[in-house]
C-alpha cells in the first residue's frame, strides 16, 4: 500500500458504536479511490466489528473477545497434533483425529481474561435463561 499503515484499533474502543462505525466508513471512503478492494473488505465486516461495543460487555471481556485468538489457539494445537499424518484414509478418519486432537489440545487451555464476567455475556445473549436461573 505504498507505505500507508492505518491501524484500525483506535476505532473499536469507542463507546458509542455509531461513532466508531462513522469513522471507519470515513476511512473506507478515503481508501476507495486508491485501494477499492481494501475499502470493500473494510465495509464488508463493518457491522460485526462493533458487536462487542453494541452488546455493552464489561471491559474485562473486550480484550479476549475482540480478537480471534480464542479460535486460532485451538486450531494451532490441532495442527500440531496432526502434522505428521500424511495420508488421510477417509472423512471418518479425519473426524476422529480432529476430535481427538481438540480433546488433547483442550487440556492445555488457560482461562480467558475476564472469565469471571462471562455471566454478563450469557445474560446479554440469553436474557430469559439468566432471569429464570436468578429466580430459582
State yes or no: pLDDT of 1 exceeds 50.
Answer: no
State yes or no: pLDDT of 134 exceeds 80.
Answer: no
Q: Which residue, among 54, 60, 66, 56, has the nearest Cα to 20 in the 3D structure?
A: 54
State how far the Cα of 78 lies from the Cα of 95, in Å rounded to an integer: 12
- Torsional sign, CA 101, 107, 111, 115: positive
Give the model's pLDDT for residue 103: 94
Give the model's pLDDT for residue 113: 82
Q: Which of 48-57, 77-86, 120-129 is the most confident on average?
A: 77-86
Give the model's pLDDT for residue 26: 87
Q: Which residue, among 47, 45, 39, has the nearest Cα to 18 in the 3D structure?
A: 47
Query: How is the chain split into domains, by residue range?
Result: 1-56
State yes or no: pLDDT of 2 exceeds 80.
Answer: no
DSSP class of residue 15 equals S
pLDDT tens-place string over residues 28-54: 898 888 889 988 988 887 887 777 777
| Nine cell digits for residue 42 | 473494510
Give the model's pLDDT for residue 53: 77
State how far the Cα of 108 lies from the Cα of 127, in Å rounded to an integer: 32
Q: What average pLDDT does the chain have?
A: 81
Mean pLDDT of the 129-136 span: 65
0.85 exceeded by pTM: no
| Nine cell digits for residue 27 | 476511512
Amino acid at each position: 500500500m505504498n507505505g500507508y499503515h492505518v491501524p484500525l484499533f483506535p476505532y473499536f474502543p469507542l463507546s458509542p458504536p455509531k461513532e466508531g462505525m462513522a469513522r471507519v466508513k470515513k476511512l473506507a471512503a478515503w481508501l476507495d479511490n486508491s485501494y477499492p478492494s481494501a475499502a470493500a473488505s473494510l465495509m464488508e465486516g463493518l457491522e460485526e466489528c462493533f458487536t462487542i461495543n453494541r452488546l455493552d460487555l464489561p471491559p474485562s471481556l473486550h480484550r479476549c473477545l475482540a480478537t480471534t485468538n480464542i479460535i486460532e489457539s485451538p486450531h494451532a494445537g490441532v495442527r500440531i497434533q496432526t502434522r505428521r499424518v500424511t495420508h488421510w484414509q477417509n472423512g471418518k478418519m479425519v473426524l476422529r483425529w480432529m476430535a481427538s486432537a481438540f480433546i488433547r489440545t483442550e487440556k492445555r487451555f488457560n482461562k480467558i481474561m475476564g472469565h469471571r464476567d462471562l455471566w454478563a455475556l450469557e445474560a446479554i445473549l440469553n436474557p430469559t435463561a439468566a432471569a429464570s436461573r436468578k429466580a430459582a
